[in-house]
């Protein structure tokens, strides 16, 4: 019988589709860039803010510094957390991993950690610090550990209990001097790993267990 | 990167590419073949004898009467019109009442043992004397010019074997009717596009006209098919006859009135569509040209991206459960990778253009006085709900196929496509 097969139509449609597909990918990449620029600005603002506080803390050793730290902890904790959550979302859901931004974020966390450690001691505050080391390549339980820490933060917020500062670090970032230094200091070799008030705990720890250790 | 994540990404890209390809194909065809798609046929003096068969089973007198009257009111010479009602073993007395009431009219009423809609249609074909035979569902109504407008198409080309009508929803008011109203317009538009490629794969049960000699050659409708209107179209295509779709042969039907009936209808369409294609698998050949891709595969290929887009989030939610994380399926949530976002923007632009094109088509091709106008809510419901209904219907159809569920008149709803 031999009916017409519109090969020319399908070929043209295929070429147009391919061109649009590649254009779509290009648009996606450009959108990422725009998003990353905005996000970079956010990180930079936090950086400047932290720097100002840092100077104030260095200048003032009196009780005024302790009052200032209260304000600092409330503001910066939520801002740092939001940047961390954004980075995580981008990496997990959008496939965007920006090494430079991540390293900058770890640097911010490190500075925040050092300030908090100093001020907690100086002001004799009832506050705990948790460092969380994870890996995105060789850790099956890290996602669960992330959930447990979120749960802990949620519970503490609800019950208005002891203030806890949590800092997450990607152990795979060996290029970052911050990561190298912290891993070396606490001798971290497996993931997930938690450092709760300077004590190292390897393996998955449930939120209740962490809460017990804080008390 | 985990292997699952990688495989998932590949699936997402393939699905997106298919969706984009389908969109581009339709828009390209609309632009390239605009004239053919919107073509209307010239008047004719040819008035062949036409037999209209109404198969019925336990239909109410009121509905049946409405269907009979609309055929009798057709702008077609009465001596050339033969009306046949086939009662497929109804347990009510509707046909007896009709017989009494329309004694003076030239209506032939036959009673037979229950055998299903296709068997009732075949019975009517055997009793018919027309050169052209039409079958109309007992709950559908044709416009006065419908028969004549279809005759014009038959006259335009001797190799035309069947003409499909332009099925519309009667007076859409409820949300479920409003979205189906738009869906039927999309179906009609796509059918007109497929017509250009000689790839129409259904002659709607609502109302279609066939050349009797072809029906005889094919030995009528397949009585075992769930969708005899698809099955007969596949065999007409297989014989090498053309099928045309009319723009102005209006047929009005009452669609399923609740979500359950709608899903039941779609499940039947899907099951029938698959079975009929398997039965006529010889059509999966390049020998049949475009029909291979458009008539046999398009419906199923387009389901891949719909399934990926709709079923995937549920799988993702499951995979995010912590016990699965422990098995190693971590971070599968790669659905909305940034690249896909960019392609999604392009697909959205194409879909909007395509929707506007359907709205324009709808405005141009509605019967005067029955224009529903463009209904943004109906369209939005169609865009957001249709995919879910189809995927769910597919799952039910798959379940029913593997459990060998049987068909019957009771499971049939309004038979339109």
**CA-based nearest distance B63→chain A, Å:** 43
pLDDT greater than 60 at residue B2: no
Distance CA A121, CA B253 (A): 80
Cβ <8 Å between B17 and A6: no
Nearest to B198 among A3, A20, A94 (CB): A3
Residue B399: the pLDDT is 86
The proportion of chain B whose per-residue pLDDT surpasses 70, expressed as a percent, equals: 86
Per-residue pLDDT at B414: 41
Kindly state whether B344 is in contact with chain A, defined as any CB-CB distance less than 8 angstroms.
yes
For residue B4, is pLDDT > 80? no
Q: Which H/E stretch holds residue A65? A: helix A63-93
Q: What is the DSSP letter of B288?
A: G
Q: Which pLDDT score is estimated for B415?
A: 38
For position B336, what pLDDT does the model report?
45
Give the separation between CA B400 and CA B406, rounded to whole angstroms: 9
Q: Are B24 and A20 in contact (CB under 8 A)?
A: yes
pLDDT tens, residue by residue, B128-156: 999 999 999 888 999 999 999 999 999 99
Contact (CB, 8 A) for B382 and B210: no
Q: How far is CA B391 from the centre of its chain?
A: 17
Which of B29, B286, B340 is facing A28, going by the closest CB pair? B340
Res B322: pLDDT: 43
Nearest Cα neighbor of A152 from A177, A128, A117, A122 is: A128
**What span, in angstroms and rounded, lies between the C-alpha atoms of B60 and B416?**
19
Rounded CA-CA distance A64/A48 in Å is 21
Q: How confident is the model at residue A2 (pLDDT cuts 50, 70, 90)?
A: low
Highest mean pLDDT among A3-17, A44-58, A59-73, B384-398: A3-17
Q: What pLDDT, on a 0 to 100 scale, did the predictor assign at position B334?
A: 39
Question: Which residues of A fall within a CB distance of 8 Å from B350?
Answer: 20
The string of pLDDT tens digits covering residues A162-175 is: 578 888 898 888 88
Q: Is B6 on the interface with A (CB under 8 A)?
A: no
Please indicate whether, in this complex, the C-beta atoms of A94 and B341 are within 8 angstroms of each other: yes
| Tokens encoding B237 | 């295509």
B286 or B306, which is more confident? B286
A132 vs chain B: nearest CA distance in angstroms?
18
- Which among A14, A17, A95 has the least Cβ separation from residue B338? A95
The stretch B269-289 carries a mean pLDDT of 93
Query: What would the pLDDT profile of B28-52 be if each residue is shown by its tens digit?
Result: 999 999 999 988 899 999 999 999 9
Residue of A nearest to B3 (CA): A137
Is a pLDDT exceeding 50 seen at residue B114? yes
- In chain B, the residue whose alpha carbon lies closest to the alpha carbon of A17 is B21
Q: State the Cα angle at A15 between A11 and A18, rounded to 5°.
A: 135
* d(C-alpha B71, C-alpha B45), whole Å: 20
Closest to B163 (Cα-Cα) out of B222, B238, B214, B116: B214
pLDDT at residue A160 in the model: 56
The stretch A68-81 carries a mean pLDDT of 78
**Does the bond joining B293 to the residue before it have cis omega, within 30 degrees of 0?**
no
Inter-chain CB proximity A94 and B16 less than 8 Å: no
Q: Are the CB atoms for B304 and B14 separated by under 8 Å? A: yes
Q: Using CB atoms, which residue from B20, B325, B338 is nearest to A143?
A: B325
Which of A31, A95, A144 lies nearest to residue B322, judging by beta carbons?
A: A144
Query: A97: distance to nearest CA of chain B, Å?
Result: 11
Instruction: Decide: helix, strand or coil at residue B22.
Output: helix
d(CA B110, CA B104): 16
CB contact under 8 A, B335 and A3: no
* pLDDT tens, position by position, B317-372: 555 544 443 333 333 333 445 667 788 888 888 888 888 888 888 888 877 666 66
pLDDT in tens, A171-192: 888 888 889 999 999 999 888 9
Cα atoms in the Cβ-side hemisphere of radius 13 Å centred on A196: 15
Mutation target for B interface from A95, A134, A138: give the one with most B CBs within 10 A: A95
Residue contact A16–B24, C-beta within 8 A: yes
Closest Cβ–Cβ partner in B20, B24, B287 for A2: B287
Least confident interval from A112-116, B20-24, B85-89:
A112-116
Distance CA B52, CA B84 (A): 6
Q: What is the mean pLDDT of residues A82-109?
A: 79
- Coil/strand/helix, residue B72: helix
What pLDDT score does A84 carry? 80
Residues of A in contact with B291 (CB under 8 A): 3
Instruction: State the alpha helices, DSSP H only, in B320-375.
Output: 322-327, 338-364
DSSP-based three-state secondary structure for B182: helix
Count of all residues that appear for chain B in the document? 417
Residue with tokens 């009465």: B78
* Alpha-carbon distance values, B288 to A185, A200, B130 (Å): 73, 71, 30
Helix (H, G, I), strand (E, B) or coil at B328: coil
- From B325's Cα to the closest Cα of chain A, the distance in A is 7
Q: How far is B310 from chain A (nearest CA, A)?
A: 17
Residue B412 has pLDDT above 60, yes or no: no
* A17 contacts B20? CB cut-off 8 A: yes
């Amino acid at each position: 019988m031999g009916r017409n097969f519109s090969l020319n139509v399908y070929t043209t449609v295929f070429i147009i589709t391919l061109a649009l597909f590649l254009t779509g990918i290009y648009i996606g990449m450009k959108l990422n860039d725009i998003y990353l620029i905005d996000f970079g600005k956010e990180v930079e603002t936090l950086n400047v803010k932290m720097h100002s506080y840092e100077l104030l803390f260095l200048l003032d050793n009196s009780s005024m510094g302790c009052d200032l730290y209260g304000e600092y902890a409330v503001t910066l904790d939520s801002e740092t957390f939001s940047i961390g959550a954004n980075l995580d979302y981008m990496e997990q859901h959008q496939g965007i991993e920006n090494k430079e931004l991540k390293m900058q974020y770890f640097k911010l966390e490190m500075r925040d950690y050092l300030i908090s450690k100093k001020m907690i001691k100086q002001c004799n505050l009832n506050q705990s610090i948790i460092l969380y080391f994870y890996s995105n390549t060789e850790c099956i339980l890290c996602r669960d550990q992330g959930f447990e820490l979120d749960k802990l933060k949620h519970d503490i917020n609800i019950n208005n209990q002891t203030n806890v500062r949590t800092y997450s670090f990607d152990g795979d970032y060996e290029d970052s001097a911050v990561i190298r230094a912290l891993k070396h200091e606490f001798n971290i070799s497996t993931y997930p790993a938690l450092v709760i008030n300077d004590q190292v705990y390897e393996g998955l720890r449930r939120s209740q267990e962490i809460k017990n250790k804080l008390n | 990167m985990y292997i699952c994540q990688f495989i998932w990404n590949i699936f997402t890209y393939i699905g997106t590419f298919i969706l984009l390809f389908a969109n581009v194909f339709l828009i390209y065809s609309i632009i390239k073949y605009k004239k053919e798609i919107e073509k209307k046929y010239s008047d004719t003096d040819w008035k062949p004898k036409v037999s209209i068969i109404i198969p019925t089973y336990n239909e109410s007198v009121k509905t049946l009467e409405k269907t009979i009257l609309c055929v009798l009111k057709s702008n077609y010479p009465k001596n050339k019109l033969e009306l046949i009602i086939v009662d497929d073993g109804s347990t009510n007395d509707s046909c007896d009442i009709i017989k009494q009431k329309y004694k003076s009219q030239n209506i032939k009423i036959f009673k037979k043992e229950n055998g299903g809609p296709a068997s009732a249609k075949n019975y009517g074909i055997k009793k018919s004397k027309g050169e052209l035979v039409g079958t109309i569902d007992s709950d559908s109504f044709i416009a006065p010019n419908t028969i004549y407008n279809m005759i014009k198409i038959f006259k335009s080309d001797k190799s035309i074997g069947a003409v499909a009508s332009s099925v519309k929803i009667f007076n859409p008011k409820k949300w479920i009717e409003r979205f189906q109203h738009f869906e039927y317009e999309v179906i009609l538009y796509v059918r007109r596009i497929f017509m250009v490629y000689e790839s129409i794969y259904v002659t709607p049960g609502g109302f279609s006209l066939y050349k009797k000699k072809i029906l005889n050659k094919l030995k009528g409708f397949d009585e075992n098919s769930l969708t005899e209107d698809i099955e007969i179209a596949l065999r007409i295509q297989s014989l090498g006859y053309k099928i045309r779709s009319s723009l102005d042969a209006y047929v009005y039907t009452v669609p399923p009135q609740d979500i359950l009936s709608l899903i039941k209808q779609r499940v039947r369409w899907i099951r029938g569509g698959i079975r009929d294609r398997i039965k006529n698998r010889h059509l999966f050949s390049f020998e049949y040209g475009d029909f291979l891709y458009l008539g046999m595969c398009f419906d199923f290929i387009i389901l891949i991206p719909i399934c990926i887009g709709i079923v995937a989030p549920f799988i993702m939610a499951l995979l995010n459960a912590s016990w699965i994380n422990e098995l190693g399926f971590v971070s599968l949530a790669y659905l909305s990778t940034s690249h896909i976002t960019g392609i999604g923007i392009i697909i959205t632009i194409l879909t909007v253009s395509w929707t506007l094109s359907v709205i324009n088509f709808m405005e141009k091709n509605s019967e005067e006085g029955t224009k529903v106008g463009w209904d943004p809510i109906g369209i939005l419901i169609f865009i957001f709900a249709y995919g879910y209904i189809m995927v769910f219907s597919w799952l039910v159809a798959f379940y029913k196929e593997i459990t060998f569920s049987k068909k019957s008149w009771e499971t049939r709803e309004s038979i339109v496509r």
